[in-house]
Amino acid sequence: MPNVVITFLVIVVTLMMALGVFSLYTTYFSAQSITLQERETLVAQSKQLVTFVSPITFRGITPNYQYFNVSFLLWYSSPTKNVTLVPFVVNQLPGIGVYLYTPSVEENALIMTNSSGKLNVIRGFHLSSTVFTTQGQQLSVNAEAFPVGQSGTVMVNAKVSPGQIIVVWILTYEFGSWYRLGYFFVNPEDAGLGLYVTTATAPYLGNSKNTNFQPPHLFSNNQGVQLGLWFKVIDNATSPSNILYFTFNATNNKIYYIYIYQYGEKILVKTNASSNKPIPLANANVGAKYFINLSFGSQVKQPGISGSTNISIYNSTGSLINDTTLGIGEANSYVASIKFGSPYQAVEISQAFLETLQSKKGLGAFYNTSSTALRNGFYYNNTEPLYQIINGAKNNLHAIVYWYFVYPTSSPPPYVSATVWYWSIGNGSPSLDETYLYPSGPNTWTID
């Protein structure tokens, strides 16, 4: 084919492409009834938009902490007088840029402002419209929008679950349409969102003489004692790593201990009340959650089983993995000491309880404590359920001690106290009293 013909065809194709682009360009902006000058104005305004975002604060939502309240401050300055914010929470979509994410009806976010030292939700309106971007996209919106001033500082508050992000659009209404001048997003997980869980504590010392109670039955007695805890394996232990170390000074001048620990890929237990040989309880699978329950005493013995201490271990679904027995005798005690976790940080301890039985009639409440903690799972805060159990067990239970080691916001406290509910024995009718046990040193934490 002659070169002049080829050249002519290239010119024709190029011209057709240019006409096509011009046609699309003209159709797009004519649909918006916007001139080229107006578009250039919007682009210039978007370039003048300035935003700054503070670090986030967060708090888990009880009782299961599947969601978090996340807040941060937004400072903005816009060249336009009409500014509207559209915040929304969305799951990240692989392969799609955040600039194409759009809010849904349940955006789970709002805008607040500080007025005279008090936070107030800005009165919003429902926006159901097409929003145009300065790059040419048309995005459908069906969400709550919040009109704000030309510049200022507001608080963005959102309800998120792990893995979700918070997107904020900054809109203006110009030339008869909605335009997005800019947007930004915050990924809470990148900013440290998560639950802090204890990996080790100092010993907690419980002494009946320090309460409004006639010793020795509060923290250990010969009728019945039960202790349970949730823990999660987060690493293999190359040396013995404590999970639970429970000792009590019996009134017969003997000191007993129960030592549950992780070593390598095993969870084991041993005691000085019988053979000191370790007894395997379960395999220690990294990432797995376990519930351990132990009980002993004359009224909780299981017929046909040698020894008076039963230890059971369950997986996260509540299925029994293994149980065994230890030969701890029945003994009253003034003093009990409990230590959770280890400096090796091989496990997380989310919660634990200790309870003492007063009467055989209280066995229903006694076992309801452990079944409640097991049923509700690793993260659930059982403060209220266990209080209701002890509150309804007058003359049946002596006490319930409860530790909750999940902290749902940043900067966890160095010390975590245990709550002690007990039926005091004084003059007149017993009353339900409350006190606290404090560790002898600080806790260590990790983000779960």
Task: Give the pLDDT confidence of 223-282 residue by residue, as tens digits.
Answer: 788 999 999 999 999 999 999 999 876 656 678 888 999 999 999 999 887 677 899 999
pLDDT at residue 430 tops 50: yes
pLDDT at residue 122 in the model = 94
CATH of domain 33-186: 2.60.40
Q: Where are the domains of the chain?
A: 33-186, 196-447
User: Could you give phi then psi for residue 90, rounded to 5 degrees?
Assistant: -150, 150
pLDDT at residue 153 in the model = 95
Task: Give the pLDDT confidence of 277-307 residue by residue, as tens digits.
Answer: 899 999 999 999 999 999 887 777 655 454 5
pTM: 0.76
The span from the CA of 297 to the CA of 257, in Å, is: 15
Name the residue type at position 415. Y
Architecture of domain 196-447: Sandwich (2.60)
pLDDT at residue 290 in the model = 98
pLDDT at residue 34 in the model = 62
